[in-house]
Amino acid sequence: MSEWWRGAVIYQIYPRSFRDSNGDGIGDLDGIIEKLDYLARLGVDGVWLSPIFRSPMKDFGYDVSDYRDIDPVFGDLRRFDALLAKAHALGLKVIIDQVWSHTSDQHAWFRESAASRDNAKADWYVWADPKPDGTPPNNWLATFGGPSWTWSPTRRQYYLHNFLEAQPDLNYWSAEVQDEILDIARFWLDRGVDGFRLDVINYLVHDRLLRDNPPAQRKRPPAVAMLYQAHIHDRSQPQTLAFLKRLRAVIDSYGDRMTVGEIGDEDPLARQREYSEPPDRLDTAYAFHMLDARRADPELFISALEAWRGAAGWPSWSLGNHDVDRFPSRLGKDDPAFTRLLMTALMCLRGTIFLYQGEELALPQAKVPFERLRDPFAIAAYTGGAFRDGARTPMPWTLKGRQAGFSEAAETWLPLDEAHRPLAAEAQERDPGSMLTFTRRLIAFRKRSAALRLGDVEPRLLAQGVLGLDRRAPGERLLGVFNFTAEPAAARIAGPAAVSFAITGAERLSRGEIALPPYGGAILALPETGP
C-alpha cells in the first residue's frame, strides 16, 4: 500500500456552501464537479466531503437518515459516481464523512427501535429506564445543551443523544449494529471512495453501567454546560478501540484506503495519539488542540508536536473547519501577513494537513445577522457572533454577479458576506501576490520536499516569539523560522543556510542571523548534519 495520505494536503469541502449548480441556493455535487479543476490547480492531494447523505438537515447532514443514499438537495448516487470519476482522473483522492456515533431520529432504524421494547432493533440505540422519580438515568449532558437524554412516551424510556435530541446514539454494545456499520463502510469502499473521515469517533461506546460523570475542575464557569463535567463515562471507552480494530481489517482489505478520526476529549492530543496507534486503529486522527485555540503563538505549535514525541502513529493537523471560527480571524487577527505565517507554519508540521474551503483565499469569519442564522448551536449560544455559521457561508468565486458566483439564487441558504466578494477566487487567480497564489506555491513546495512531507521534526523556540521547526529526511534538512510578534525579530542560525521560501519577501539572512519583519518567516535549507 502506498499510504498516500502520509504528509498529504487534503481540502475539506462543505458541500452546502461550495458551489450551487442549479440555482436553489444550496451547493451540490455538480457544483463540486465543476470546481475540481480549481482544486487540482491548488495542488491538494485529495478532498474531504462533509456529509452528503439523506438527512432532515437538523444538523445539516450530521443527522443521517440513510447511510447508503445521497440527499436529493446535493444530487444522487449517479452524480456522486461522476464526481468520484472526475476527481480520480485529476489525481485527487476522495474521502467522505461517516457519522457513525448517531443517526437522525428519522432513520428507519430509530423509528423501529422506538416503536416497542421487543422489536428486531429494540437495542440498536441506547435506551434506559428513568430513575424512580422519573428523571433521566444519570447526569450526562449533551454538547448542544441540556441533558443527554430524551423521553420516549412510546417506549416509556429515555434514549441517549450526545448532541441534538434529533440525533439518537447508536448502541455499539450490539454486535448487529457494529456489523451493519461495517457493511456501510464496504458499500462506499466498493463504490471507490479513498477513505473516511470519522465524525466524533471516540463517542461510539458508552459506559454500560451508565455511571454519573464526575464534576470537572474549572477555574471559571464555562460557556457550555457540558464542560462542567469530566466526560469519562459517555465517551472514549476502551471498547471503541476494539471496534476500530474490526474497521481497520475492513479498510486494509481494500488496499490503498485511509481513515482519519475526529477526536474531542479532555486531553485531545493524548486521545489523538491513542486512536491512531498502529497497527490496528485509525491511520491518522486530528484533535481540537489548534481548532479550539483563540491565540496563535509558538507554544501552540510546540505543544502539539511535543505531545507526539516518540509516537508510533501519524497525526493530522488543521487550523480551521466547519465547526470553528475561520482561522484568519480567530488566530490571525485578520492580518494578511499573520495569516500567511500561520498557513506556512501549518504546512511545515509533520503530519497530514487539512485545509478548509476558503482558507486558501484568507476568508475572514463571516458576519451573519441573527435572523439568518441556521445552525442550532449558533442560535442557542448567540451573543452577537455567527459562530459556526460564520465559517459556513457561501464560497466567493467571482467579483461580479449574483452571490459572487456561488449561486444564481436570489437568496442562498446562508447569506454571502459581501466582505468576501473582493477576495473571490477569480480576483486572486489573476494576482501574483494573492493568498491563493501564495498557498499554491506553498503546497507545491511541501509536495517537492521529503523533509516536510515525511521527515522528522524538532520544534524549538529560537527567540522570544520566534518558532523554529527543524525538518529532516535523508538528503534534505529544512528549518522553518516564524516570527509570531508584531515587531521585527531576529534569530541565530547555526551553520550555512539559504532561504528557500519566504513569507513576506523582506526576510534577510546574513552572517548566521535571519532578520524577520513583523509576522515574517522563512523556510531555510540547511546542511543535513549540524545542530
Active site residues: 199, 262
Cell numbers for 404 = 459572487
Rounded to the nearest 5°, which phi and psi values hold at 262? -90, 125
Contact predicate 284/320, CB 8 Å: no
Task: Give the number of other Cβ atoms within 10 Å of residue 389's Cβ.
Answer: 24
72/54 Cα distance (integer angstroms): 7
270/266 Cα distance (integer angstroms): 9
Q: Closest Cα partner for 203 from 166, 161, 164, 251?
A: 161
Residue 356 Rama label (left phi>0; alpha psi -120 to 50; beta): beta
Task: Give the number of other Cβ atoms within 10 Å of residue 132's Cβ.
Answer: 6
- End-to-end C-alpha distance for the chain, whole angstroms: 35
Cell numbers for 172 = 455499539
Q: Helical H runs in 357-475? A: 376-380, 425-429, 435-448, 450-454
Contact predicate 104/64, CB 8 Å: yes
- DSSP 3-state of 511: coil
Task: Give the number of other Cβ atoms within 10 Å of residue 371's Cβ.
Answer: 5
Chain centroid to Cα 121, Å, comes to 32
Task: Give the number of other Cβ atoms within 10 Å of residue 461's Cβ.
Answer: 14
Cell numbers for 306 = 511535543
The secondary structure of 216-242, three-state, reads: CCCCCCCCCHHHHECCCCCCCCHHHHH
Task: Give the number of other Cβ atoms within 10 Å of residue 186's Cβ.
Answer: 13
Contact predicate 491/455, CB 8 Å: no
54/38 Cα distance (integer angstroms): 27
Residues, the chain, total? Answer: 531
416/126 Cα distance (integer angstroms): 40
CA distances from 140 to 105, 164, 171, 207, 331 (A): 19, 13, 16, 11, 32
Cis peptide before 279 (omega within 30 of 0): yes
Which residues, 6+ apart, have CB-to-CB distance to 87 below 8 Å?
A: 36, 46, 47, 93, 94
Instruction: State the pairing for strand pair 489-492/476-483.
Output: unpaired
Contact predicate 342/332, CB 8 Å: yes
